[in-house]
């Protein structure tokens, strides 16, 4: 069953930066009903790498669900500003992740990246922390 528009919240984190890292993604339909989630342990990564990896996994899941439009919420201001071309991607480790996000974003007719405060991203944050807890 294809879902035309998906609202997605993503979060990635690392304990230690770099350190054990995890991601969390929650996808909703336009009625705000949860349709999918992702929680995954990454191994050792930085916070910013984990933020990008969460977004990549979310975009893959949205594509798999047949989404045409995406509204994506992240609590990483850096990643949002890079994706919206307000900041350049200067970190050599983030550049290939940025490129992967860009290439995946071409699968959608409309995609918007928005920054939210951490308090508004609790479910994705919980999933990312559960993934990091798994590493213990």
pLDDT tens string 107-131: 999 999 999 999 999 999 999 999 9
Distance CA 85, CA 97 (A): 15
pLDDT tens string 31-78: 999 999 999 999 999 999 999 999 999 999 999 999 999 999 999 999
pLDDT of the residue at 3: 82
Mean of the per-residue pLDDT values of the chain: 96
**Architecture in CATH of 5-72+85-134:** 2-Layer Sandwich (3.30)
pLDDT tens string 20-41: 999 999 999 999 999 999 999 9
Beta strand ranges found along 75-122 (DSSP E):
110-115
pLDDT of residue 1 exceeding 90, the answer is: no
């Amino acid at each position: 069953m294809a879902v035309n528009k998906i609202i997605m919240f993503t979060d990635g984190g690392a304990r230690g930066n770099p350190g054990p890292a995890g991601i969390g993604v929650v996808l909703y339909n336009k009625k705000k009903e949860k349709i999918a989630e992702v929680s995954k342990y990454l191994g050792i990564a930085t916070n910013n790498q984990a933020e990008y990896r969460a977004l990549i996994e979310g975009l893959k899941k949205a594509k798999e669900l047949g989404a045409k439009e995406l509204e994506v919420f992240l609590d990483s201001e850096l990643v949002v500003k890079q994706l919206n071309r307000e900041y350049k991607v200067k970190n050599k480790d983030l550049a290939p992740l940025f490129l992967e996000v860009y290439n995946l974003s071409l699968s959608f007719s409309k995609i918007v990246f928005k920054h939210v405060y951490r308090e508004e991203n609790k479910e994705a944050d919980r999933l990312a922390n559960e993934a990091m807890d798994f590493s213990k």
